[in-house]
């Protein structure tokens, strides 16, 4: 696993947060007999991974909207999704505006953006908003729409309408499937409309997706990879797919430690 584990003390602090829902720095400092500065560093690490949210003088539990199916999606290719997220976040400077579509990979991107400063983030997912509570973002904007209780996604005409009111520096989308021929696919027609709206109103279009989605099928086409500026994934795509990207000047980034070290 590429992501380093929490320290023993950080694991214990996380257990305390889960049990008490909210905790203060001074109490943790006394309990572990360490400085408040050390506790703040621990909380920054925990919250930076989206495991809790910072509050004034402490941290609180994140109340995520999810179900077992959504939790399973979070766990699927979790290391790959985290590396994709870290690379994506490394490309986005402070003071940027970002639109993040609902999804487990984009939720990881939100976690990776936690310590960026003065971001304006627009999303149609309540879990993504929860992840970013307590971050250094300047503004977190949730679109209108109907909440889908299974995963906290906001969908519907109001969602598309709200997104259309913005112009963002970056639009970041995912997809449950993409074809060798370059088509990005989704199983939900309403989700397609949201993805298209994000791409239409973003200056830089980023597609984040792990390689397990390749050659999976879905009935609705979001767009073609040629409509994307940057494709971030965990493995080299097939030759035909790469050739389409080369012809359309779509940059392919393989997310791994070496990429981050080269920056």
* Structural domains of the chain in order of their starting residue, each with its CATH number: 8-60 (1.10.10.10), 68-262 (3.40.50.1360)
Q: Tens of pLDDT along 182-219?
A: 999 999 899 999 999 999 999 999 999 999 998 788 89
Helix (H, G, I), strand (E, B) or coil at 207: strand
CB contact set of 211 (below 8 Å; sequence gap of 6+): 80, 233, 234, 235, 237
Longest dimension (CA), the chain: 60
Provide the token pair at 106.
């984009």
Kindly report the number of other CB atoms within 10 A of residue 148's CB atom. 20
pLDDT at 125 over 90: yes
Instruction: Burial-class residue 69 by CB neighbours within 10 Å (0-12, 13-18, 19+).
Output: exposed
Task: Pick the closest to residue 98 from 184, 204, 250 (CA basis).
Answer: 204
The model's pTM is: 0.76
pLDDT at 144 over 90: no
Confidence class of residue 235 from pLDDT cuts 50, 70 and 90?
very high
Q: Tens of pLDDT along 153-173?
A: 999 999 999 999 999 999 999
Q: How many residues does the chain have?
A: 263
Spatial distance between the Cα atoms of 156 and 143, rounded to a whole number of angstroms: 10
Identify the pLDDT of residue 15: 87
Helix (H, G, I), strand (E, B) or coil at 1: coil
Task: Pick the closest to residue 63 from 21, 100, 24, 105 (CA basis).
Answer: 21
Q: Which of 5-9, 17-21, 226-230 has the lowest mean pLDDT?
A: 5-9
Spatial distance between the Cα atoms of 92 and 258, rounded to a whole number of angstroms: 18
Sort strands 183-186 and 139-142 into parallel, antiparallel or unpaired: unpaired
Spatial distance between the Cα atoms of 155 and 160, rounded to a whole number of angstroms: 8
């Amino acid at each position: 696993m590429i992501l380093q584990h929490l320290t023993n003390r950080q694991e214990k602090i996380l257990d305390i947060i889960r049990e008490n829902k909210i905790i203060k720095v001074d109490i943790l400092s006394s309990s572990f007999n360490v400085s408040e500065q050390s506790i703040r560093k621990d909380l920054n690490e925990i919250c930076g991974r989206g495991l809790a949210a910072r509050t004034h003088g402490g941290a609180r539990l994140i109340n995520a909207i999810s179900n077992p199916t959504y939790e399973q999606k979070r766990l699927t290719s979790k290391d790959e999704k985290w590396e994709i997220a870290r690379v994506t976040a490394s490309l986005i400077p402070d003071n940027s505006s970002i639109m993040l579509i609902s999804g487990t990979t984009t939720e990881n991107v939100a976690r990776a953006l936690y310590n960026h400063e003065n971001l304006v983030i627009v999303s149609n997912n309540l879990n993504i908003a929860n992840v970013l509570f307590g971050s250094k973002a300047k503004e977190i904007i949730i679109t209108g729409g109907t909440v889908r209780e299974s995963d906290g996604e906001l969908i519907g005409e109001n969602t598309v309408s709200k997104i259309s009111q913005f112009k963002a520096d970056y639009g970041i989308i995912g997809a449950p499937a993409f074809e060798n021929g370059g088509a990005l696919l989704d199983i939900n027609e309403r989700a397609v409309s949201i993805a298209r709206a994000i791409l239409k109103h973003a200056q830089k279009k980023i597609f984040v997706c792990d390689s397990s989605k390749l050659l999976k099928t879905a009935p609705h086409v979001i767009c073609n990879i040629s409509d994307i500026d940057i494709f971030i994934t965990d493995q080299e795509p097939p030759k035909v797919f790469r050739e389409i990207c080369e012809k359309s000047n779509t940059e392919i980034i393989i997310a791994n430690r070496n990429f981050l070290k080269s920056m």
